Amino acid sequence: MQAPGTLYLVPSPLDFGCAAQTSLADVLPVGTLVIAARLEHWICENAKSTRAYLKRVNQLQPLARALQELQIVELPHEVHKKGDHAGQFDARPLLAPALQGHDVGLVSEAGMPAIADPGSSVVRAAHDLAIPVVPLVGPVSLLLGLALSGLNGQSFAFVGYLPHDAATRTRRIHELESLALKTGQSQLFIEAPYRNAALWQALLQSLQPGTRLAVASGLTLPGAVNGSSSVGAWRQRAVPVRADTPALFAIGR
Amino acid sequence: MQAPGTLYLVPSPLDFGCAAQTSLADVLPVGTLVIAARLEHWICENAKSTRAYLKRVNQLQPLARALQELQIVELPHEVHKKGDHAGQFDARPLLAPALQGHDVGLVSEAGMPAIADPGSSVVRAAHDLAIPVVPLVGPVSLLLGLALSGLNGQSFAFVGYLPHDAATRTRRIHELESLALKTGQSQLFIEAPYRNAALWQALLQSLQPGTRLAVASGLTLPGAVNGSSSVGAWRQRAVPVRADTPALFAIGR
């Protein structure tokens, strides 16, 4: 029986959709670039941006094959929209090349696949098929932002997006603040860039003055903005978030 | 007034205390190595292992100054033992060089400082003193392990260590399982290597057969072991954890 290939979890830079670009040498170890450059089979969210990413890899580490010869398949739209855990998507057919002995790369639009991004259905399928899975090192915005926050990094939770409806959002903010203050578990969340300013105002209005609030935007990019202080102190300062860059928010004590 | 230097959060390899060593080129981007090599002021857990780390950096990227000329200060033992959030440790005096215009590196024994490791008191002090903070890219075992788990990466929590007393530990395992199954939030935790096997047995005995359990040990190291399957399936397999390597455990649905 043919030994299976390996599924590599390949991180990508955090500049997807941003005006500024990161140098890949700043965010990806040579070891990651070497493996990415030799993979001929890819599973991704979007083939066009995967090719753009691999073109950048090629500038530092020549690809083993021409871009147009690579096999790049996209995760179905149901996974993009609902996530990997709703709808019982079966990713096993995507891993056919791995069962035939080929190494396969899993990549998302930015950062680490399967973390705040699609991909975990593919990882589960690999484990189910006894295909080895190897995660490669690269940038993960959540963890860079958590380290930067000065909040408790021994106990923390990432809760995704907050609700959009103002009243529901305020209730959720109070719920997360209460959890963070009571248990000491830092609470992290994200928002679509164009809603950053509205979320920021809601946080300043809803949180207690003594609660610590941190924000990080444009991580690893030129023009990165970040800060961490009490809500009371933030109320005296200018709004630190922009409408064109993803941001990570964190609250704690 | 002198403009302050920057506080860099400098990741280190995950092989601290392990028999096997990682190549730094596999886990640290050139951009991270370049900055680490030029920093002359360091804050760390242990000066001896920081010097050992910088010797390895020097092999890939020559240090700007000889090792013995670097200023390396250790976080006090109260921070090692109790964490940065108990005891109200004031880290501002450690940042005096940054206030004099020098860049300073913060490093922990393995992985990213301030994440499941000391350092957040220094980050908070930097924000309080208006010293810019920049996190550099490198390996973070929690996030590599989460991506590898195939569990929900859109909502997850890291809860540190479980209790050691068997009965209390079992109650905590049930509590975390109930939370994971009810809310879909993956629950991650770690254990000291010599307790890995006992924790693994407790997990197999306490969790429901349908709960998904993932483990990752020796991340980025030769001989890495990992897996993710239902508890029922794990009960048919050999114990995947070793007593000499840190491991990350995760449960979810």
The shortest CB-CB distance from A156 to any of B9, B152, B158 is to: B158
- Dmax of chain B from CA atoms? 67
Return the closest-CA partner of residue B164 out of B130, B116, B196: B196
| CB within 8 Å: B157 and A158 | yes
| CB within 8 Å: A228 and B124 | yes
Examine the pLDDT at A222 and tell me if it is beyond 90: no
CATH topology of domain A141-252: 3.30.950
The predicted structure's pLDDT at residue A58: 97
What are A184's two structure tokens?
A: 């000491």
Half-sphere exposure of A252 (CA within 13 A, CB side): 26
Return averaged pLDDT per consecutive 10 residues of chain B, 253 residues in all: 93 89 95 98 97 97 97 89 75 97 96 93 96 97 95 96 95 97 96 92 97 94 92 91 90 94
Residue of higher predicted confidence among A240 and B43: B43
Q: What residues pair up with B104 in beta bridges, in sequence order? A: B7
Please say whether the beta carbons of A50 and A107 come within 8 A: yes
The predicted structure's pLDDT at residue A87: 63
| CB within 8 Å: A158 and B160 | no
Residues 6+ apart with CB under 8 A from B249: B188, B189, B190, B191, B199, B200, B203, B213, B214, B215
Examine the pLDDT at A98 and tell me if it is beyond 90: yes
Over the stretch A126-165, which tens digit does the pLDDT of each residue have? 999 999 999 999 999 999 999 999 999 999 999 999 999 9
Q: What is the 3-state secondary structure (H, E, C) of chain B?
A: CCCCCCEEECCECCCCCCCCCCCHHHHCEHHHHHHHHHCCEEEECCHHHHHHHHHHHHHHCCCCCCHHHCEEEECCHHHHHHCCCCCCCCCHHHHHHHHCCCCEEECCCCECCCCCCCCHHHHHHHHHCCCCEEECCCCCHHHHHHHHHCCCCCCEEEEEECCCCHHHHHHHHHHHHHHHHHHCCEEEEEECHHHHHHHHHHHHHHCCCCCEEEEEECCCCCCCEEEEEEHHHHCCCCCCCCCCCCEEEEEEC
Is residue B224 within 8 angstroms of chain A, CB to CB?
yes
Mean pLDDT of A111-122: 93
Distance from CA of A240 to the nearest CA of B (A): 14
Chain A partners within 8 Å of B220 (Cβ): 137
The predicted structure's pLDDT at residue B198: 93
Chain B partners within 8 Å of A149 (Cβ): 120, 123
Per CATH, the architecture of A7-135 is what?
3-Layer(aba) Sandwich (3.40)
Q: How far apart are CA B86 and CA B111, in angstroms?
A: 22
| CB within 8 Å: A30 and B26 | yes
Quote the pTM value.
0.95
Question: Which candidate in A7, A23, A30, A122 is best for mutational testing of the B interface (most B CBs within 10 A)?
Answer: A30
| CB within 8 Å: B32 and A26 | yes
Q: How far apart are CA B249 and CA B196, in angstroms?
A: 9
| CB within 8 Å: B27 and A31 | yes
| CB within 8 Å: A147 and B114 | yes
Is residue A215 within 8 angstroms of chain B, CB to CB?
no
The shortest CB-CB distance from A120 to any of B126, B135, B150 is to: B150
Distance from CA of B122 to the nearest CA of A (A): 8
**Chain Cα centroid distance, residue A28:** 15
Chain A partners within 8 Å of B26 (Cβ): 29-32, 137
The predicted structure's pLDDT at residue B137: 97
Chain-wide mean pLDDT for chain A?
94
The shortest CB-CB distance from A152 to any of B85, B127, B149 is to: B85
Question: Which candidate in B146, B179, B248 is best for mutational testing of the A interface (most A CBs within 10 A)?
Answer: B146
Is residue B85 within 8 angstroms of chain A, CB to CB?
yes
A 38-77 residues with CB below 8 A of B? none
Residue of higher predicted confidence among B239 and A208: A208
The predicted structure's pLDDT at residue B86: 67
**Predicted confidence band at A80 (pLDDT cuts at 50, 70, 90)?**
confident
For chain B, the structural domain boundaries read: 7-135, 141-252
Q: For chain A, what percent of residues have pLDDT higher than 90?
A: 83
| CB within 8 Å: A226 and B139 | no
| CB within 8 Å: A153 and B119 | yes
Return the closest-CA partner of residue A43 out of A82, A6, A63, A71: A71
